[in-house]
Amino acid sequence: MTTCPNRAAPPLAPPAVLSARPYRPRATARDHRAVAEPRRPRHPRTACAAGPGPDPRGGLSTRFAHRLVEVLTGSRPSGQLLRHTTLDCYGQLSALVRAGTLRGTRGGERPRLGPVHDRSPAPDAVEACVRVDLGGRHHMVAFRLEPRGPSGQWQCTAVEAR
């Protein structure tokens, strides 16, 4: 079959009309946050290499402090922190729980945590302490976090409460 160059091509189907509005990509909440907030460095070790300073890990010590106080007051079982502590530290934590260091409230009063004060004395360590108000008494809880194991997961290596 041969085609004739003078012959017109068959008409194409008309394009489908989707919308009268022009296409504009939607801005997501993530896009707005990226513009509003400066980006944090992906590797915090470079941020704290200059010397001691506050915890650059974005609240790691604050989150751990809340969970630790919940375990010490008996709101959570101590086994929930097993994978977040070293074996020696878990022994210290179990001894504090057995001694009832942060227990003794009669009315089921919830502990109130003050601000978590943390410092990074080395690029691979964070030391923190928090004041806990419980039953009209003030307690202090201190702990140390370090990356451990082949994955470098942050774990608690020491804990003390008074």
**Of 3.10.450.50, 3.30.390.30, 3.30.390.10, 1.10.645.10, which CATH number belongs to 53-161?**
3.10.450.50
Whole-angstrom distance, CA of residue 122 vs CA of residue 124: 5
pLDDT tens by residue, 37-77: 555 544 444 333 334 444 445 588 899 999 999 999 888 88
C-alpha span between 47 and 42 (Å, rounded): 9
Question: Which of 32-36, 41-45, 53-57, 127-131 holds the top average pLDDT?
Answer: 127-131
Strands 153-161 and 112-122 come out as unpaired
pTM: 0.61
Q: Which two tokens stand for residue 21?
A: 């509005």
Domain segments of the chain as ranges: 53-161
Distance, CA of 96 to CA of 105 (rounded, Å): 16
- Residue 22 CB coordination number (10 Å): 5
